Amino acid sequence: MSVAKDPYIELRDVVFSRGERRIFDGLSLQIPKGKVTAIMGPSGTGKTTLLRLIGGQLKPEAGTVMVAGESVPDLGRKALYRLREKMGMLFQSGALFTDLSVFENVAFPIRVHTRLPDDMIRDIVLMKLEAVGLRGARDLMPAQLSGGMTRRAALARSIALDPELIMYDEPFAGQDPIAMGVVVKLIRDLNASMGLTSVLVSHDVPESLSICHYACIVSGGRIIGDGTPEELQNHPSDEVQQFLKGRPDGPVPFHFPSVDAAADWGIAGPGQYGDGQ
């Protein structure tokens, strides 16, 4: 466990299943306040699910999820929505409102939660769009944006209200090297200048390790390794080394859980389907 003195988010012994499949089985994790924490792990292990648990969109079957000292699953509707006003979340798909322009998308959370005059909202929105390099695209509709632009516009929207906690789900996916550099710098600057607590979900190991203070790797429903980037680089576990180096063979499964391959292809073997013919 990372030795966080002041955890902003704390998950303890969280159990969560999707149907029959157990996604988390006793996962514990602490995310320190005012730091960038990277969560890495193979595709489909439940990183997005983890963010949804933190945001209160999903409830764990067992265990506790504490955010800013409050137990998220136990919050009533009102309290939950009040807590969420302090959070920003960048969705993996961007999730821009398709009937609003880029400008209005970024302005949306400001308009809903504050009573600022229009010219002030305009200034804030343009500032946020400038930060992601999309000031010129303010009048475009989301359908007119490319994948990477969509994600950057969504990033601008999630930081519009200067939240205390911001969760980025794959902010680097689909960005060219320059845009990637901009986003990396933005995440670091936001954290440095405003002391945001940032949670960064990503597959991009070098980028993530270059900006995070702490990192943890999730696989198979639990944390297989965590610590500062240096600690992870020198982590003794094979699993961690395999993931960081991106080697195809090793203890970390690449395939979605399934029956034996030989059985699926109908080659005689000990599989469930093999004895039919």
Ligand X SMILES: Nc1ncnc2c1ncn2[C@@H]1O[C@H](COP(=O)(O)OP(=O)(O)OP(=O)(O)O)[C@@H](O)[C@H]1O
Residue 197 contacts ligand X per CB under 6 A = no
86's CB contacts (< 8 A; 6+ apart) are: 68, 163, 164, 165
Residue 50 or residue 66: which is nearer to Mg ion going by CB?
50
Shortest distance in whole angstroms from residue 146 CB to other proteins:
16
Question: How many Cβ atoms sit within 10 Å of the Cβ of residue 48?
Answer: 16
Which segment (15-23, 90-98, 180-188, 211-219) binds Mg ion by CB under 5 A? Answer: 90-98
Among 15, 25, 34, 48, binds Mg ion (CB under 5 A): 48
Question: How many Cβ atoms sit within 10 Å of the Cβ of residue 139?
Answer: 10
- In the range 88-147, which residues lie near ligand X by CB under 6 A? 92
Residue 76 or residue 270: which is nearer to other proteins going by CB?
76
Shortest distance in whole angstroms from residue 238 CB to other proteins:
36
- Residue 109 site contact among other proteins, Mg ion, ligand X, none (CB < 5 to 8 Å, cut-off depends on kind): other proteins
Shortest distance in whole angstroms from residue 92 CB to ligand X:
6
Shortest distance in whole angstroms from residue 39 CB to ligand X:
9
For residues 174 and 132, what is the distance between their CA atoms, to the nearest angstrom? 14
Among 12, 15, 22, 48, binds ligand X (CB under 6 A): 48
By the criterion CB under 8 A, which residues form the site for other proteins? Answer: 55, 57, 77, 81-85, 87-89, 91, 93, 95-98, 108-109, 112-113, 154
Residue 43 or residue 193: which is nearer to ligand X going by CB?
43
Shortest distance in whole angstroms from residue 172 CB to other proteins:
19
Among 30, 45, 191, 242, binds ligand X (CB under 6 A): 45
Among 12, 33, 44, 63, binds ligand X (CB under 6 A): 44
Q: Which of 157, 147, 99 is nearest to 125 (CA)?
A: 157
Which residues bind to Mg ion, rule: CB under 5 A? 48, 92
Which residues bind to ligand X, rule: CB under 6 A? 18-19, 23, 43-49, 92
